Structure 1
Amino acid sequence: MKKQLIFTALSLVFLYSCTQEKKEFGLEISTDASQILQGRMLFEKHCSTCHNFNEDAIGPNLSGLTRQVETSWIRQFILNSTSLIEAQDPRAIQLFEKFKSTMPAYPGQPEEIDAILSYLHTFETLPIPISGDTTSNLIPEKIQDSGIRLSLELFAQLPSSDSVAPLAKMTKMEPISGTERLIINDQRVGLYELVDQKPVLFLNVLEKKPAMVSKPGWATGVGSFAFHPDFQSNGLFYTAHTEPGGTAPSDFGYTDSLAVFMQWVLTEWKLNDPKARKFEGTNREILRIDNASQAHGMQELTFNPYAKKGDPDYGLLYIGYGDGGTAEKRFAAISNHKGKGIYSSILRIDPLGSDGKNGKYGIPKINPFARKEGMAGEVLAYGFRNPNRIFWDAKGQLHATDIGQHSIEEINRIEPGKFYGWPVREGTFGINPFGSFRALYPLPEDDSKLGVTYPLIQLEHDETVAVIGGYLIPDGPLKGKFVFGDIPSGRLFFADLNESGSPKVQSWGVLFDGKEISMKGLVNHDRVDLKFGIDASQNVYIMSKAEGKIYKIITTD
């Protein structure tokens, strides 16, 4: 997902270490060669998206870390950072206040941490401290509280797919087009239908696709789904899921000098009886894309809900695909492809066509780069780090939320063929994809030559660290407003997308059992993992992975 401002424990620990009295640390860390090798593999799997040993990336340069901080403290923080924060550990509190987010517990076995420490301990050079960090107070106007509070009522509960939070990993809940049937995913399992507000397993993707993996977490597993607008007659729907790198030959990849960590797979499913509550039918793979990390892959699948039969856009599948973590690994050209590649893009394909790269899908003639020599006909627009949500406003205008790097979150209005800046822009600021991602710069005087389309809305990380949309509220005090929020904290926002200029963003809150409560308090966890859903009547829902609960927003008295 994101650069994840949910930094790894290692990044948090390092930033505090600079203030400590110099001691000789790490004497107890093993230097056994086999353990170091194991640690290297674990680091590449769980940590390399955020860290390296040459320069600051998403997290800091880790070279020399184990020689600056007590080994026992590092190990404890990696295992459970939240417990240290709750215990009011001064170091943990300082880090939490700085980054405004907690970190998920290490996803592997506790004994693996010793191997990671052994690998880290092979790097002796101390990193150079960052000076002149330009990523605070870039946007002086702060978001104001609207005073609006809407009631929530518990609507449904997904079964736990793990014993620790997040107990269920939903990312999307939407109705099957033209029906009242409500579908929701759990990334670890597959798709559920909510029948009388109770989850009924509709499709077990893990069972049908045994190569599927949902670890090390973030956006892995069943990332998204979409039902064809003619589902009631053709029984077709689509899912995106992850498999380990090298599972099968890919349709799209990149340079051989960058390892393939995972593959994203787009699958078409055909239900024998479209009215059936449980999947029985066939499936075929449409598309397979290599990914350099567990992050920023195929985060969104959707069809245009406003398109009618006969419209050029009817039945075309939109796909949000991020940079795959390639920018953090210093392969900026993979994202900055000028329409010649498919990464960091919103794609649009005809799932029933056959003139695509592998003959299993079609290239819509209305796409801006269709049938142009050397261009990727699948691309609708490009220049996104992590376009995790694609949506249309009431006027039928296309938008996308895009999770930023270190400083800026974006909501973009999408126009065909346009470039939205990543990895050389973050919001309305310049960024050097080969330098520090913490440093942003004013736009140059000749900026227009780059042809960047800038965000409709941009938010700094003192307001939100991982933006997620979001739907239009049908009535009540937020009628017609687009609601969205911050994934980790659960902070809630709204804006009028049709407001002239840059729409004003305000915050709002919730009531539960008649009392005002924060989202963290509501879900009993410091990380909310906020998502939104909608039903056939356009009622909007708030969802949290922490406990796997779904809450209905009550918009009228």
Structure 2
Amino acid sequence: MSKRRWRSVVAAVAITAAALVPLTTTTLTTATADPGPIADPAPEELQSTLGLVLEEYAQFPKTEPIPAPTDRRLMRHARINGLGELPDGSGRTYVPDLNGPLYLVEDGEPQVYLDVAAEFAPEFFSGRGMGSGFGYATFHPDFEDNGTFYTVHTERPGNAGPPQDPTTYPPQNPTFLHSVVTEWVADDPAADVFSGTSREVLRLGFAGQIHAIQQIDFNPTARPGAEDYGLLYLAVGDGGRGVGTGIPQDMGTPAGKILRIDPAGSDGPGGTYGIPPSNPFVGTPGALGEIYAVGMRDPHRFSWDKQGRRGDTRMFLGHIGEHAIEAVYDVQAGDNFGWGDREGKYVFDSADRCNLYPLPENDAELGFTYPVVAYDHDPPPGWPCTSDSGYAISGGFVYRGHDLPALDGKYLFTDLVEGRVFFARESQMRRGGPEAQMYELALYDTDGTRKRMPDLTGDERADLRMGRDRSGDLYLIAKANGKIWKVVDTISAPVPRDVTRSLEPNQVSLYDFEHPFQQDGAVEIDRGASRTYLDLVNGGEDMRVADGAHPGSNNSVQLGQVDQSAVGNDDWKAGVYDADGVDTLSALSGVDGITVMGWVKMTGQNPSPNTNSADPDDLYNAIGLAGVLSGDSDGHGVRALLEIIEVDGELRLVALGRRVDGGESQTFAAHEDWRTLLPRDEWVHLAATFDYTTGRMALYRDGERVPGFYTKDGDPWQVDGSGASGTTPRGIKIGGSFPQDTREANPCSCSMDTLQLFDKAATSREVAHQYRLMNR
């Protein structure tokens, strides 16, 4: 990246205008011969030792999209979308709901101030597209005196009703929706219900159902008489048409831009607003004077920060990416963020939407501005690279309040889908420099219990955004259950460790059942090194239950037989399988040892009734726990398995494994009754270790070795000092027969939590340390 440059507006215009020439493939790769794709585009976030204490602020009524949606992502309790405070000293906050209501909140009680949906019925439209509907509201800094505020909403061309007004500029073709900015003037600014007049300020037409006008706002740091005072900023997306079209770089269209207008002026199109003469492209041939910055896909949320002795002001933008990069930009007049030729600080090639590439050597000449903070995201194996992988940044705010000094100078923002809260230090967010390190904040309720946002929302898709009042206090806003929480305190949050240090390099997979893949709740993300995504079979996302096995855990997975009286295959289990081998499990190929470890709680009848038998007293002769399949397995052959099976006519807890694919297995069985080792309704930590070089196996319960015996004499593994077969395991099975999904077999009526796979046979000391670590 080039060094930071302080530029006059005139210089910014000259440099940026040159960068707006459409880039050819040749230009993108100047002096770079066939660059390979970037495998890991952004550094990982770190877990902060700081936590936020959240207090419930308000609960909003349930609302429905118009028309009724088919997209489950729109089926929310309430699509509340932001929070601000009226600039009138009343302390009232305002909250828009995409489905139509604009609420005022006093003392935690929301009241409808204006029903935008009703005002624009039947054209009002919120039933398709993540940002459709009543997207945002902002109040003029002189609202107390002039009663003026602004809203943006979407309408569907062709809906029944009067003809729609023409768009301010030619719409994208074909046009799916209009995004409309409206000015409202209240008869009485102090009233709790709106009464007054309105007029249309601006109307834009978009071809897609996404990426229209996201936010409109005034710069709250600008004072009367300042150049920015009373000017309205608009974050305008590319309409979902930015890939390969050049739209975000086209200076003749408002799409993919930040606009700045004077709503009190009249020299804009139709005389409904003015164009500030200080805008960077005023007078540039072929450029719209309203444009403030260019080259954006989905500019979601922006805010300003004013600090320092000189009162320096910075504008920060959270920008939602296409393939991999969620970014924060420091916005200055005339900036070009590069979309759709750049995503973050990488080359985006519209002909290859599955990869990002290094910048060309002549990139500094092209005038692009790159993020000051960024993070990436990886879809599960096999997920189409052009499909939404379920991550999206929502921009936030730099904390400058007085009550929480630990947050001072930190820019807080969220991943709106996952509901995670991050921060970066404003002092490290420098234009032209390396991207600032970002940290994830822990979240706590007022009882001091650590929570994930899905625990607070009751939904794995939190739909989380951030708001701020005029004192600088911060709020978290969730569509999932229509609640808002206020950040009321900070707390020391020790970074939880999932694995003891000596085992950390060997952890292949970790499933805590608190990290669903956002686009499919029936898939669990592997937090280990392998990133082997796990399928929750038959029960899907309903299998995650609010019952953690150890301190720091809030959830586990429920397994078991669903209907004990009917022949079928509805048992809840989990696994992953590929007949060609699961590539991400290659670390378990040819290994000297494996450890299978996790928490188990028996919750129902075990063993389960055999639904394949007419005899009601017939029970299965095994209880499935967890293990790794061999490289030639059809689901039965295992490399390493923790199970309860019949040994000499009696059920026993066992470690069962084989060293060579297709070879004999060996079983190490516990002497003690399995019902004593695994009493019903009690969490127990189990581990099984397999050393293929020596033939030794072991079982552990709550960190202590379980005495047992080998069930086969001699050397069934044909131990020769080498490791297991060099084939890649065909998968993982948890809680029952898998991948066989045609008939029920050996289900486990149990819950499991924090299942871990290691590519070594852990020592007794390591198992004990791991148990103590997790039980702290």
Q: How does the TM-score come out when normalised to structure 2? A: 0.52
Structure 1 residue 155 and structure 2 residue 57: aligned? yes
Residue aligning to 1:53: none
Which among 318, 325, 338 is matched to residue 240 of structure 2? 325
8 Å Cα contact 1:472/1:483 also seen in 2? yes
Aligned Cα RMSD in Å? 1.9
Q: CA deviation at 1:195?
A: 1.8
**How do 1:230-379 residues align onto structure 2 when only pairs under 5 Å count?**
230-245=142-157, 247-254=164-171, 258-328=173-243, 330=244, 332-337=245-250, 339-379=251-291
Q: CA deviation at 1:321?
A: 0.4
Deviations 1:165-184 (A, max 9, x none): 41101111000124212100
How far apart are the structure 1 equivalents of 2:397 and 2:138?
16
Q: 1:552 to 1:445 in 2, by over 3 A?
A: same
Structure 1 residue 509 and structure 2 residue 442: aligned? yes
SS across alignment from 1:335: helix
Structure 1 residue 466 and structure 2 residue 392: aligned? yes
How far apart are the structure 2 equivalents of 1:193 and 1:136?
47
Structure 1 residue 419 and structure 2 residue 352: aligned? no
Q: Which amino acid aligns with 1:172?
A: G
Deviations 1:420-466 (A, max 9, x none): 10010001110122x13222111112222321111111211149921
Residue aligning to 2:77: 167
Q: CA deviation at 1:133?
A: 9.9
Which among 193, 197, 201 is matched to residue 112 of structure 2? 201
How far apart are the structure 2 equivalents of 1:133 and 1:243?
44
Q: Which amino acid aligns with 2:246?
A: A
Q: CA deviation at 1:488?
A: 0.8
Q: CA deviation at 1:231?
A: 0.8
Residue aligning to 1:396: 313
Structure 1 residue 494 and structure 2 residue 423: aligned? yes
How far apart are the structure 1 equivalents of 2:36 and 2:131?
29
The number of equivalent residue pairs is: 419
How far apart are the structure 2 equivalents of 1:296 and 1:459?
20
Residue aligning to 2:349: 432
Residue aligning to 1:98: none
Which among 81, 99, 104 is matched to residue 188 of structure 1? 99
How far apart are the structure 2 equivalents of 1:237 and 1:547?
27
Q: Which amino acid aligns with 1:146?
A: S
8 Å Cα contact 1:149/1:509 also seen in 2? yes
Deviations 1:146-193 (A, max 9, x none): 121121111100110039841101111000124212100111022100
Q: Which amino acid aligns with 1:270?
A: V
Q: Which has the higher strand share?
A: 2
8 Å Cα contact 1:425/1:431 also seen in 2? yes
Q: Which amino acid aligns with 2:418?
A: S
SS across alignment from 1:514: coil
Instruction: Name structure 1 gaps, 5 residues minimum.
Output: 1-131
How far apart are the structure 2 equivalents of 1:222 and 1:397?
27
Q: CA deviation at 1:134?
A: 4.1
Deviates more, 1:173-182 or 1:241-250: 241-250
SS across alignment from 1:398: strand
Q: CA deviation at 1:472?
A: 2.3
8 Å Cα contact 2:302/2:396 also seen in 1? no
Residue aligning to 1:107: none
How far apart are the structure 2 equivalents of 1:249 and 1:492?
41
Residue aligning to 2:483: 549
Q: Which amino acid aligns with 1:549?
A: K
Q: CA deviation at 1:537?
A: 2.2
Q: CA deviation at 1:135?
A: 6.1
How far apart are the structure 2 equivalents of 1:428 and 1:536?
34
How far apart are the structure 1 equivalents of 2:260 and 2:356?
31
Counting aligned pairs with the same residue, the percent is 37
Mark the structure with the bigger radius of gyration: 2
Q: Which has the higher helix share?
A: 1
Residue aligning to 1:449: 365
SS across alignment from 1:438: strand
Residue aligning to 2:18: none
Instruction: Name structure 2 gaps, 5 residues minimum.
Output: 1-34, 66-71, 159-163, 307-311, 380-389, 492-776
Residue aligning to 2:407: 478
Which among 133, 138, 141 is matched to residue 41 of structure 2? 138
8 Å Cα contact 1:133/1:438 also seen in 2? no
Q: How does the TM-score come out when normalised to structure 1? A: 0.72
Q: 1:230 to 1:294 in 2, by over 3 A?
A: same
Q: CA deviation at 1:248?
A: 3.1
Residue aligning to 1:15: none
SS across alignment from 2:79: coil
